[in-house]
Structure 1
Amino acid sequence: MLLKKVLNKHFTQKQQMVLNQFVNNKDWSLMINYGAVRSGKTIANNYCFIMSLIQVRKLADKDKVKDPLYILAGTSKKNIYNNVLNPLFNDFDLIPEQDSIGNLHLFGVTIILAYTGTIAGLRGIRGSSAYGAYINEASLANEKVFEEIRDRCSEGDGRVICDTNPDIPTHWLKTDYIDNPSKQIISNHFVLDDNTFLSKRYIDTKKATTPSGMLYDRSVLGLWVTGEGVVYEDFDQNTMVVDKAPDNLEYYCGVDWGFAKGHENVITVLGDDPETGVTYLTDIFSSTGKFIDYWVDIAHKIQSRHGDYINFWCDSARPEYVSYFQQNNIGARNADKSVMNGIEFCAERIKMGKFKVLRKCAKPFLDDVFQYVWDPVKGVPKKEHDNVMDSFRYALYNQHKKYDNQIIRNVYL
């Protein structure tokens, strides 16, 4: 009874189920915990990671191995730190020692870091024989790196644990592993409601503000789904196209470079109302066949109207254009072009009613927003009708993105 109370205090019922599998199920060699954001799956895996290291040390002692190896994998060093190492310190007060070649040491086990984002990640683990592995964000891993990690876990029980958010239903992790359970392969599906340590207010707000369709199904329900229909399906022309905006807006711009027909150059001008938090799209400048000096003139006109020190969040694909803007006293900055993160942020603003478009410039936006659709195979937007969509996303996402815990305001470069 006392043990149950302790477990209930620290772990949700779903997490306890995972820990029970880890301890009492001796058959599995691959455990995949997948599902919704903030559902508690990574915490369960982090605890399994600690238990894995303790178990590896015991097995190594039986095998008379002085320096057993374990693989800790993620898309990048930063992600491994944020998702695994930092929580280990915050939740368990554990700080692995680091040696001169970058390996970590904890509980008498050497932990090799492997980066799974590209095939280059194979270099860090080739030739090694490990007692197990923990793969964070497994759906983002290169498939060959994922397979190589599993192959390298040839010592002891060779168990591999991994966690992930859902992706498209045809993703190899789902079709090859989750959809093919066996004694050796087990998986656990987490939904947002599984995390009973979250407040009801947080869960209700998350459900109310998460964009409809694929983003909701993945983020809240933890489903492996692809998008169907338009990307911004919560955009309502009847309520979000307006005749005027407040006078006190804080302005910034997005720039999608282009030249040829079908890939126009687009500059969108947006402004935030500091009192209501509503963003207004106030101008769209779009054209084909225009060289960079033309767009410098457009940017100067925007500055003369809204101030010299506004940000221009630019497509980084043309660094010479960004540099030319800067040479002409335009506050050009390379935009973070993360497609899904940017879309999720913009879609959330739309669903919350925090985005409006002025009627005078609405036509090019409406032409694109109602034709900007998901690719049913890749699970990302099709590269069609995306010029205005990219430009406005660069602006809205980057202006509100947190850098070093500070929101970027208008900064002149």
Structure 2
Amino acid sequence: MATRAPKTFQATASLGRNQVRSLNACLLPGATFNLWEGSIRAGKTYVSVLAFLMAVASLDDSAAAGGQLVVIGKNLGSIYRNFFRTIEDSPGLRAFRGAVSYRQNAPTAHIFGREVQVIGVNDGRAESKIRGMTILYVYVDEATVIDETAFKQTLNRMSLDESKLFATTNPDSPAHWLKVDFIDQMRRLHDWRRYHFMMDDNPSLSASVKLRLQSQYVGLWFRRMILGEWVSADGAIYGMWDPARHVRPWAQLPQMRRLFGVGVDFGTNNPSTGLLLGLSREKRRDGGYGSRLWLVDEWRHDTRGQEAAQLSPSQQAGLFARWLDQPHTPYDTALRPEFVIVDPAALHFQRELNLLGIPTAGGLNNVSYGIATQASLLSEDHLVVSDRCPGFIAEAPGYSWDAKAALGGKDEPVKVNDHSLDGGRYVIATTENMWRPMLDWPAELLLAA
């Protein structure tokens, strides 16, 4: 007999047809491993969370006594954002809020009075957190980004007849272990169920929101995030790059509303770079004014082929500090860079800058996300580069995906001539919550070059 939630939790929201289909299917006997995958904002997280809550709500004490309830994700922060915030923020899950108790970053939650283990599994060591468990129900957030060993250990711990897995993911490389070992094997894995979702499956999305989301992705990311395809990363990363379109003279720099900060990539035997990101206020073709991002200025110290120029981190910090104090616009302005955002691996360089009185922050280093964001901005003409950024301009055309890494299911760029690109990526990705609401530069109103 199918597992059913109490009547008070039956109709919590208006669901789309695909959401209803997956919700009914995952609660049936024999549907042990359930995977919701497909495009972004397609409603898959919402319905998977609802399914997990309904399963827990329907437990009787005898069934619950046999195993543990678990929520797994890359880290506790992402679990909170994707699982618990979905419960807090979704009107359709209002009926469940009083039954869910969780303090952010805590190792346990309580759902319908039952203890739930909350576990981050971002590397191979995390597998030990799961070893020894007997898992009754487990929710896995963003399955492609968690550690493979930990995921497979989770499956091993599901040793009860009633055990169930509820997992979500966006598409990744077709060589990713989740695709190769599980999705591609569904015909022989009789207790696995795959529910493929597109944005049209989400009844809460308006047509205007769908169009806006579609405009934010290009190339590889459009195919994955919007079309829901499992495709390889290969070829040029910034295939849309065009100097005639994306490069402007620094001498003609428009007025800046803000100078968000400098993204710094430190190198000892490789170049050290710093890219200054600003937000413009400039005239559009329709006569109005709009704002877009500019890489305004660049600091670059390149030791290659210069024996005498091999400098210690403290000496490089001194060079950077002097550059930071210089004017960065061709006109007088009271604006100064608000943040210095450094490669999070370069803690020693951060300390040297701190000793000189320069506060620093570690940059967001999700490479794939940072590249996708930068590519989207370039594609939509939301990012312009001044000719005072020669390193970025030189590196962008040759930036490409690593074919060998792609064979192993990983999206990685070739680590050659990418230092200015990395600096730009750090500052753009890390300050996104500041500039994203301020962008208002429709591509169709772009002034002629």
For this structure pair, what is the TM-score category when the shorter chain's length is used for normalisation?
0.7 to 0.9
Equivalent residue number for residue 38 of structure 2: 35
Q: Alignment length, in residue pairs?
A: 392
Give distance in 2, aligned partners of 1:366 and 1:325: 26
User: What are the within-5 Å matches in structure 2 for residues 170-249 of structure 1?
Assistant: 170-181=175-186, 182-210=189-217, 212-243=218-249, 244-248=252-256
Equivalent residue number for residue 273 of structure 1: 280
- Pair 1:380-2:412 in alignment: yes
Deviation at 1:28, TM superposition (A): 2.4
**TM-score w.r.t. structure 2 length?**
0.79
Q: For residues 281-339 of structure 1, what are the alpha-carbon distances to aligned partners after superposition, in whole Å with 9 as ceiling and x for unaligned?
A: 23333221333424423432332314665422212322222122222233433222221
Give distance in 1, aligned partners of 2:184 and 2:77: 30
Deviation at 1:216, TM superposition (A): 0.8
Give distance in 2, aligned partners of 1:332 and 1:8: 46
Q: For residues 136-188 of structure 1, what are the alpha-carbon distances to aligned partners after superposition, in whole Å with 9 as ceiling and x for unaligned?
A: 11112212211221222222421212111111111111111111113211211
Cα RMSD, aligned residues only: 2.8
Could you say if the C-alpha distance between residues 220 and 259 of structure 1 is closer, same or farther in structure 2, counting changes exceeding 3 Å? same
Decide which moves more: 147-156 or 288-297: 288-297
Preserved contact between residue 317 and residue 352 of structure 2 (Cα < 8 Å): no
Give distance in 2, aligned partners of 1:312 and 1:167: 32
Ranges in structure 1 where 5+ consecutive residues have no aligned partner: 408-413
Could you say if the C-alpha distance between residues 70 and 389 of structure 1 is closer, same or farther in structure 2, counting changes exceeding 3 Å? same
Deviation at 1:30, TM superposition (A): 0.9
Decide which moves more: 391-400 or 199-208: 391-400
Which of 396, 416, 426 is matched with 1:369 structurally? 396
Equivalent residue number for residue 282 of structure 1: 296
**TM-score w.r.t. structure 1 length?**
0.86
Equivalent residue number for residue 330 of structure 1: 358
Q: For residues 358-400 of structure 1, what are the alpha-carbon distances to aligned partners after superposition, in whole Å with 9 as ceiling and x for unaligned?
A: 23x3543232101111123121222122111001112222233
Could you say if the C-alpha distance between residues 141 and 281 of structure 1 is closer, same or farther in structure 2, counting changes exceeding 3 Å? closer
Partner AA of 1:266 in structure 2: T
| Secondary structure, aligned partner of 2:228 | coil
Partner AA of 2:26 in structure 1: F
- Pair 1:317-2:345 in alignment: yes
Give distance in 1, aligned partners of 2:437 and 2:358: 22
Preserved contact between residue 322 and residue 332 of structure 1 (Cα < 8 Å): yes
Preserved contact between residue 299 and residue 323 of structure 2 (Cα < 8 Å): no
Preserved contact between residue 278 and residue 296 of structure 2 (Cα < 8 Å): yes
Give distance in 2, aligned partners of 1:382 and 1:164: 25
Give distance in 1, aligned partners of 2:102 and 2:342: 39
Could you say if the C-alpha distance between residues 167 and 121 of structure 1 is closer, same or farther in structure 2, counting changes exceeding 3 Å? same
Equivalent residue number for residue 398 of structure 1: 430
Equivalent residue number for residue 411 of structure 1: none
Equivalent residue number for residue 83 of structure 1: 82
Partner AA of 1:388 in structure 2: S
What is the percentage of aligned positions where both structures have the same residue?
23
Decide which moves more: 341-350 or 283-292: 283-292
Could you say if the C-alpha distance between residues 82 and 323 of structure 1 is closer, same or farther in structure 2, counting changes exceeding 3 Å? same
Give distance in 2, aligned partners of 1:399 and 1:159: 39
Preserved contact between residue 308 and residue 330 of structure 1 (Cα < 8 Å): no
Could you say if the C-alpha distance between residues 402 and 272 of structure 1 is closer, same or farther in structure 2, counting changes exceeding 3 Å? closer
Could you say if the C-alpha distance between residues 88 and 281 of structure 1 is closer, same or farther in structure 2, counting changes exceeding 3 Å? closer
Give distance in 2, aligned partners of 1:141 and 1:229: 26
Partner AA of 1:84 in structure 2: F
Partner AA of 1:301 in structure 2: W
Which of 129, 132, 138 is matched with 1:133 structurally? 138
| Secondary structure, aligned partner of 1:93 | helix
Give distance in 2, aligned partners of 1:84 and 1:316: 27
Preserved contact between residue 294 and residue 384 of structure 2 (Cα < 8 Å): yes
Preserved contact between residue 395 and residue 417 of structure 2 (Cα < 8 Å): yes
